[in-house]
Chains A and B, each alone.
Chain A
Amino acid sequence: DAKTTQPNSMESNEEEPVHLPCNHSTISGTDYIHWYRQLPSQGPEYVIHGLTSNVNNRMASLAIAEDRKSSTLILHRATLRDAAVYYCILALNSGNTPLVFGKGTRLSVIA
């Protein structure tokens, strides 16, 4: 599985945008970029995924570099409930493919 690199931790003020980076320089042409997050003492939850184009949904936006070697998850207005560990994962299709979780980025949100 292609490896991803994320900062161990990040901090944000409440109601400010947060940009969570992910490097994946060895990504293959068929790898999707998936983001999941895990709130304390809970199972992970899906955030967003993309292949080449930037993606938006109700939770976040995903900006993918033109060479696909990096991506950024954007939370437009961080809330205290967004404090979690965010995982950037490469997979052909996260549905029927087991996900390989790295260490992720622990996001702290300050009121």
Chain B
Amino acid sequence: GAVVSQHPSWVICKSGTSVKIECRSLDFQATTMFWYRQFPKQSLMLMATSNEGSKATYEQGVEKDKFLINHASLTLSTLTVTSAHPEDSSFYICSANPVIGDQPYNEQFFGPGTRLTVL
């Protein structure tokens, strides 16, 4: 099956620093990738939709200047948490959707997640 990887799998940083998380589709191309955030004991919450070659679409309440998303190629999207603070500590998960021909595949493939801890 299709594989999505994330790097790093976990990161600990000091408050005020920026952290970049990579999401890669390893064996397929993805014009669309999604970023989710999951706090402990809670469900996944969509943060933004990342489209290759265009600006990301952010969900209401998600600061686009704080969570920078770049989808520069069909296999890579990055999420940068700028000036991270302890309240940004969370489990960040990306997902990607293969395109077969000109039709999206009816399944999303999720990365393993990145656990961010901001001290």
Contact check, A101 vs B111: say whether CB atoms are below 8 A apart.
no
A interface majority secondary structure: loop
- Per DSSP, chain B at the interface is strand
Check: B95 CB closer than 8 A to any chain A CB: yes
Residues of A within 8 A of B110 (CB): 43-45
| Contact residues, B1-15 vs A (CB, 8 A) | 4, 6
**B49 with A43: CB separation less than 8 A:** no
Among B4, B46, B104, contact of A95 (Cβ-Cβ < 8 Å) = B104
Tally chain B residues at the interface, Cβ within 8 Å: 27
Q: Kindly list chain B residues whose C-beta atoms are within 8 Å of the C-beta of A94.
A: 106-108
Q: CB distance A43 to B43 under 8 Å?
A: no
Q: Which residues of A contact B113 (CB under 8 A)?
A: 41-43
Chain B: residues with CB nearer than 8 A to chain A?
A: 4, 6, 32, 34, 36, 43-46, 49, 91, 93-95, 97-98, 104-113, 115
Taking Cβ atoms with an 8 Å cutoff, the residues of A that contact B are 32, 36, 38, 41-46, 49, 87, 93-96, 98-104
